[in-house]
Amino acid sequence: MSPGEDPRDRALRALAEPRRRAILQLVAHDELAAGEIAAAFDVTRPAVSQHLTVLKEAGLLTERREGTRRLYGARPEGLAELREMLDDLWASALDRARRTVEADRGVADDHHEEDTG
pLDDT digits (tens, 9 = 90+) for 33-52: 999 999 999 999 999 999 99
The answer to whether position 70 is within a domain reads yes
The answer to whether position 107 is within a domain reads no
Q: What does pTM read for this prediction?
A: 0.72
* Residue 15 amino acid letter: L
DSSP letters for 44-85:
-HHHHHHHHHHHHHTT-EEEEEETTEEEEEE-HHHHHHHHHH
The answer to whether position 91 is within a domain reads no
pLDDT of residue 19: 96
pLDDT of residue 56: 95
72: domain CATH number is 1.10.10.10
| Closest CA relative to residue 82, chosen from 16, 4, 3 | 16
Sequence-separated (6 or more) residues with CB below 8 Å from residue 73? 27, 30, 31, 32, 61, 62, 64
pLDDT of residue 90: 79
pLDDT of residue 71: 96
| Residues of the domain holding 63 | 7-76
pLDDT of residue 18: 95
The answer to whether position 81 is within a domain reads no
The answer to whether position 100 is within a domain reads no
Counting as low any pLDDT under 70, the low residues of the chain are: 1-4, 107-117
The answer to whether position 12 is within a domain reads yes
The answer to whether position 103 is within a domain reads no
The answer to whether position 106 is within a domain reads no
